Structure 1
Amino acid sequence: MTETLGTTVMFRATMGRLATGVSVITTRTGSTPVGMTASAVSALSLDPLQLIVCIGNHLFTRTAIAEHGRFAVNILGEDCEHLARTFASPVPDRFAGVAVDDSHGVPVLKDAIATVVCDVSQTLPGGDHTIFVGDARHCAYKAEGRPLVYFAGGFGAMS
């Protein structure tokens, strides 16, 4: 389908054709873990080691990251669609039954195929989102595992 860009619906549908990896962004507010599913994550720089995450201004996770100053990007594998759905839903406790490692100051999902823990170095406006630039403080990945991807409104695996 080819149409002229002119509506939010058309823009979202068009950008939905860009396959992206699926991550859960985690942080803390006080002693309470906070997290959300995100696809707007990207490596930014190798010197210094930085990445960016883009979080909707209306989301509680945005406020929590801004206040705590540290977050983790938990890259999900193809067997973790349940985590993507849980952290994208309005359930009261998204962390119920989820194995986490708290040794880095933020919850890191043990089932993720890769994680990057970052300290916020910059916060930039991005329309109805906030762009957080994170300085990588800890990186880890599993030798096995294929990424969960999001495309055209659904989850899938790479073939």
Structure 2
Amino acid sequence: MTESQKIAPCLWFDGKAEEAAEFYVSTFRDSHIEHKLASPTDWPAGKAGDIILVTFVLAGQHYQALNGGPNENGKFNESVSLSVICEDQAEVDRCWEALTADGGMPVMCGWLADKYGLRWQIVPRALTEMMMDNDKVKARRVMEAMMQMV
């Protein structure tokens, strides 16, 4: 991680951290795997030499993917999502198609769940700008329209 980013989200995957990180870096520009940490010893979810943690960068932001084994607290849900601000419709379409492929699914309001269950908000920059418009009637209409979207 860089000095400017001291906090990175750590995402818990059940044995698929490396696969998920590779998928995410293939989806977003300015992204790469930074480091893969192999466990020096056997551990509850794996054996010595298995990848336990993958540090990766998505669009310039650092993340960690943990092979934590079965998670008794459940899977990813709507309480945590990653928000992607898109510059144009082509970028919205590209992100949406990539993240809903192979088992991902639309949720609501421009949100989706990818094939690992992680929630994403795919947001056109223009939508955010319209929702912050000083014309409150216009902003309300935009919000109402967004709430109907899948």
The two structures have a TM-score, normalised by structure 1, of 0.24
The two structures have a TM-score, normalised by structure 2, of 0.25
Higher helix share: 2
Highest Rg: 1 or 2?
Answer: 2
Higher strand share: 1
Higher RCO (CA 8 Å, separation ≥ 6 residues): 1
